[in-house]
């Protein structure tokens, strides 16, 4: 992800179509999996694929106007677009009760991650513990913990999504974590 | 249970990192997504070209034309 912001900066000063297409491909190869995980964690398939495509188009169309220079600002920007498109979807269609990602699917992803980064026995131990924390959490708490630790949203981003203030979210996540720890202990 | 040095927060952060890594391995960008992005970039670029063509003034027939003197009655 280190070169991502450089690609974004180069994109906005690039005039030629061929170069823009090359840069856009390099940028979206990096961010599409994150956006896909976010969308597919929030909506059931098959609507998720359509919403994802809308998000990608919106991000691509606005990319030339993104003016900030840091990776966190870029992430925050494209996730704001993604949340807006998700909200458009929820306005058209009642929100389905969200099913958490099943554990066997999570375990598959953990196995797949080993292809990129080998896992130690200590890692496995920690991951088992983390899964127990999620399993032990109430649905609302699981949602907060998932969004914060797995999707990677910071408190501000969750606050914006939930229409809450920053401290409220920080305290909620802290309480959820304490509760999960006490249930697993 | 995790060792004493590993707290719940660190374990969840590790889980998040691994899930995202695994997801990126298992779900690389699809051809459909790539096409959506490229079509959007192409459309936007074409709009920019059209906009810049229409906003440019027509080339002057006489490039060496000197500035006109002010209209009579408008001199300071």
Burial class (CB in 10 A: 0-12, 13-18, 19+), B24: buried
- Record: contact A32-B3, CB cut-off 8 A: no
* Distance separating alpha carbons of residues A106 and A104, to the nearest angstrom: 5
A70 backbone dihedrals φ, ψ, rounded to 5° = -125, 155
pLDDT for A166: 95
Per-residue burial over A46-59, b if 16 or more Cβ lie within 10 Å, else e, is: eebeebbbbbbbbb
Check residue A14 and report its DSSP letter. -
List Cβ neighbours of A87 (8 Å cut-off, separation of 6 or more).
none
List Cβ neighbours of B36 (8 Å cut-off, separation of 6 or more).
A53, A56, A57, A60
* Distance between start and end Cα atoms, chain A: 36
CA dihedral A174→A175→A177→A181, nearest 10 degrees, is: 140
At A89, is the pLDDT very low, low, confident or very high (cuts 50, 70, 90)?
A: confident
List Cβ neighbours of B59 (8 Å cut-off, separation of 6 or more).
none
Which residues in chain B are contacts of A152 at CB distance < 8 A? 16, 20
At A134, is the pLDDT very low, low, confident or very high (cuts 50, 70, 90)?
A: very high
Average pLDDT over residues A61-88: 92
Whether the pLDDT of residue B41 is over 50: the answer is yes
The tens digit of pLDDT for each residue in B43-53 reads 999 999 998 88
* Distance separating alpha carbons of residues A70 and A117, to the nearest angstrom: 26
pLDDT for A133: 95
* Distance separating alpha carbons of residues A130 and B8, to the nearest angstrom: 7
ipTM of the complex: 0.81
- Record: contact A56-B36, CB cut-off 8 A: yes
Of B11, B32, B44, the CB nearest to A64: B44
At A53, is the pLDDT very low, low, confident or very high (cuts 50, 70, 90)?
A: very high
Rounded to a whole number of angstroms, the distance from the CA of A110 to the nearest CA of chain B is 6
Q: Say which residue the tokens 């090359």 belong to.
A: A22
- Record: contact B22-A109, CB cut-off 8 A: yes
Rounded to a whole number of angstroms, the distance from the CA of B76 to the nearest CA of chain A is 43
pLDDT for B27: 86
Whether the pLDDT of residue A144 is over 50: the answer is yes
pLDDT for A160: 85
pLDDT for B76: 40
Q: Say which residue the tokens 């976010």 belong to.
A: A38
When mean pLDDT is compared over A40-54, A62-76, A98-112, B3-17, the highest value belongs to A62-76
* Distance separating alpha carbons of residues A117 and A3, to the nearest angstrom: 19
């Amino acid at each position: 992800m280190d070169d991502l912001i450089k690609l974004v900066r180069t994109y906005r000063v690039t005039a030629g179509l061929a170069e823009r297409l090359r840069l856009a491909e390099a940028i979206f190869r990096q961010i599409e999996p994150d956006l896909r995980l976010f969308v597919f964690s929030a909506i059931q398939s098959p609507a998720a694929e359509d919403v994802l495509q809308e998000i990608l188009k919106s991000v691509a169309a606005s990319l030339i106007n993104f003016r900030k220079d840091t990776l966190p600002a870029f992430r925050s920007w494209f996730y704001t677009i993604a949340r807006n498109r998700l909200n458009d979807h929820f306005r058209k269609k009642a929100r389905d009760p969200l099913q958490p990602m099943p554990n066997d699917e999570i375990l598959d992803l953990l196995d797949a991650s080993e292809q990129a980064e080998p896992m130690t026995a200590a890692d496995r131990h920690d991951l088992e513990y983390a899964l127990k924390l999620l399993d032990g959490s109430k649905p609302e708490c699981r949602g907060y913990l998932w969004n914060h630790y797995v999707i990677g949203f910071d408190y501000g981003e969750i606050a914006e999504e939930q229409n809450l203030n920053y401290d409220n979210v920080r305290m909620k996540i802290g309480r959820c974590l304490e509760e999960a720890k006490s249930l697993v202990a | 249970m995790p060792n004493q040095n590993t707290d719940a927060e660190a374990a969840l952060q590790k889980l998040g990192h691994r899930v995202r890594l695994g997801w990126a391995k298992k779900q690389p960008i699809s051809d459909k997504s790539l096409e959506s992005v490229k079509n959007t970039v192409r459309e936007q670029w074409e709009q920019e070209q059209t906009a810049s063509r229409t906003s440019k003034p027509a080339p002057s027939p006489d490039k060496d034309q000197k500035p006109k003197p002010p209209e009579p009655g408008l001199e300071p």
